[in-house]
Amino acid sequence: MTITYSPAHLDYGLDTFFGRITKSIECEVGLEAVVDDPYCFALRVPAPVPDDLHQATIVVVKVDGRTLQGSVRHIERLDDESLKLEVEPD
């Protein structure tokens, strides 16, 4: 499957001992459907990804004129070093 990437603004939340920290990046993202769960979506971020993105618990992404947000349910590092985040919308 070929993924089409678009420029995006990504805010992501990290839960730490001191509470939630929110970080922001400008990056390319690809949106995908989640197999067997039409309610969720997957967000693919190509390498290089921020060092702590794999610890994200929530995301808000602004891409192609829309804003998508939700809780991260699963994160997977792919063979091409990109990161795939499965998100359940709020």
- The domain limits of the chain are 6-89
pLDDT tens string, the chain, 90 residues long: the values are 678 999 999 999 999 999 999 999 999 999 999 988 989 999 999 999 999 999 999 999 999 999 999 999 999 999 999 999 999 998
pLDDT given for residue 1 in this prediction? 61
pLDDT given for residue 2 in this prediction? 73
Domain 6-89 CATH class label: mainly beta
β-partners of residue 30 are: 44
Residue with tokens 């998100």: 87
pTM, full prediction:
0.91
pLDDT given for residue 35 in this prediction? 87
10 backbone dihedrals φ, ψ, rounded to 5°: -120, 120
pLDDT given for residue 71 in this prediction? 98
For the chain, the three-class secondary structure string (H helix, E strand, C coil) is CCCCCEEEEEEEEEEECCEEEEEEEEEEEEEEEECCEEEEEEEEECCCCCCCHHHCCEEEEEECCEEEEEEEEEEEECCCCCEEEEEEEC
Measured CA to CA, the distance from residue 10 to residue 69 in angstroms comes to 10
Measured CA to CA, the distance from residue 37 to residue 15 in angstroms comes to 26
